[in-house]
Amino acid sequence: MRVGEILIQQRHLTQDALEEALDWQVLYGGRLGTNLLELKLVEEERLARALGSQLGCEVTWGDIQVDPAVLPLLPQHVAARDEMVPWKMEKRRLKILCTEIHPEKLDQLGYKVGRACVGVLAPEFRIFQLLRGSYGATRQMRALDFGVVPEEGRRRKKRVEQGDAAAATPELIDEAAFNDLYNQVVQGRPAAAAAKKTPQVVQPVPGPAAEVLEALPEDAILGAAEEAAPPPVAWKEPPPPPAPRADETPIDFKEALRLLEGVSDRNAIAHIVLRASRSKAARALLLQVQGGVVLGWDGLGEGLEDASRLVAIPLAAPSAFQLVVNTRSHFLGPLQKTPVNIRFLAQLGKKVPRSSMIVPILHKGRVSHLLYLDNGHKQQAPTDVGEMLILSQRIGQTVEALVEKKRRSARG
C-alpha cells in the first residue's frame, strides 16, 4: 500500500488533499511526503509513522541530532549518492538515516565498518538537511526549508471564495530574516527555530527607483555553502568518475515544441527548455516559484550548472523576479542595483550582464516557474521575446498534461 493510501486509511489525509500534493509533486519534484509537508496537509510525525507502516522499519522525525563521531564512517560521495547519513551507535549497531531502505547497501556498509548497520527512515527533507550540514552536499532547496507554507490549489481557492483575502497572497519573508534563513538552510540547520525568532510575514513595499547594476560589490553575499567542507572519512575508496553529462546541444524553437509533445517527466521538460534557451542566449536558468520564495532548479551555461541549486530569492524584496511574479509578464532590461539582484548574480559566478530576460511560466493562472536568460558578463540579453513566450505557454500545457496523468494514476 502506498503512503498516501495509508494516510487516507488512517484518516490523516483526504483524497482531495492527496491529489493536491501530487499536483505539487509534478511541479516541483521530490517525494510525496515532502510535498505533503510543504503544503501542510499532514503532520511530520504522522507522515513518518505512515512510512514506517509501509516499509516495516524504524522511523524518526523532527530536528535530528547526529553523533559527529560516526560521520567519518561514510564517505561524502557515498552519503550523497545513496542519501544515507550515519546517525548513532546503539547496542553495538550503527543506525543509518535513509530516505528509503536498501538492505544490500546497508550490508555493504556493515562489511566496510565491521558493525551491523540498521536503516532508519526519515522524511526526505530531513535527510537533505543532514547531507548539507554534515557533508557539504548540495540539494534542491524548497519552501519547506524556509518555513514558508505555499497554500495552493483547491484549499486556497475555497478560502478565497469564502472571503479570506489573505489566502490569495503568498507568505513572504522580509529580506533580513531571509538572509539568516538562507545561511541556515545551506548549512543544513532547520529553519523553523529561526523563523519563530524573527518577524517573517510582510507585504512587499515598492522601493524607490534604483540605479542600474553595472558591477558587483566586493562583499556580495555568496552564502555559507562555499565555506562548508566535508569531514574526514575512514574509507580510502576513491569517488567514482562523474556521470556523463546529458546532451547540452542547443535546439531550435520548432524542435523544442516537437520534443515537448512526447515528454514524460519534469526533468525532461527542464532539459528541453534549457537547450532551447541556449539557442537564444549564452546562459539559461530555470527557477521554481513556491509561495514567497524563488528557488533555483537547473541551468546551462557558464557558472550555472553547479550554482543553480544555491539560488534563493525572497519575493518580499524589490527585484526583477518580484516584478515578473506580480505582473505575470516578462522582463527585458538591465537589472537594478538592489540587494536581491546583487545576491542573485553573485551566486551565478559574479557575471554582470548589461541586460537580462525573465519569462514567467504559468500553472492555473499563477507563476509556478521562471526562465532567466542572459548572454554573460557585460553582454546584452537576447531581444527575441516572442518565441520564448510561446515556449513558456507550451511548457505550461505540458506540465498540466503531466499533472492530469498523475491524478489518473492516483485514482486508478
Give residue-wise pLDDT tens across range 144-165: 998 887 755 445 445 545 555 4
Q: pLDDT at position 361, please?
A: 94
How distant, in Å, are the alpha carbons of 76, 130, 190, 219, 267 from that of 138?
Answer: 11, 11, 15, 23, 17
CB 77 within 8 A of CB 100: no
Angle between helical axes of 15-28 and 385-411 (0-180°, round to 10):
140
Q: pLDDT at position 6, please?
A: 94
Residue 371 has phi, psi (to 5 degrees) of: -115, 120
Q: pLDDT at position 166, please?
A: 44
How distant, in Å, are the alpha carbons of 56, 180, 258 from that of 310?
Answer: 35, 15, 31
Question: Could you tell me if residue 91 is left (phi over 0), alpha (psi between -120 and 50 degrees) or otherwise beta?
Answer: left
> Which pLDDT band holds residue 197 (cuts at 50, 70, 90)?
very low
pLDDT in tens, 71-110: 999 988 899 999 999 999 998 899 999 999 999 999 999 9
pLDDT in tens, 220-239: 755 544 444 445 455 666 77
Mean confidence (pLDDT) of the chain: 84
The ranges assigned to domains in the chain are: 1-57, 144-197, 224-233+246-411
> What is the percent of the chain with per-residue pLDDT over 70, rounded to a whole number?
84
> What would the mean pLDDT of 179-196 be, rounded to a whole number?
71
State how far the Cα of 96 lies from the Cα of 103, in Å rounded to an integer.
Answer: 11
Rounded to two decimals, what is the model's pTM? 0.85
224-233+246-411 CATH: 3.30.450.40
State how far the Cα of 71 lies from the Cα of 211, in Å rounded to an integer.
Answer: 48
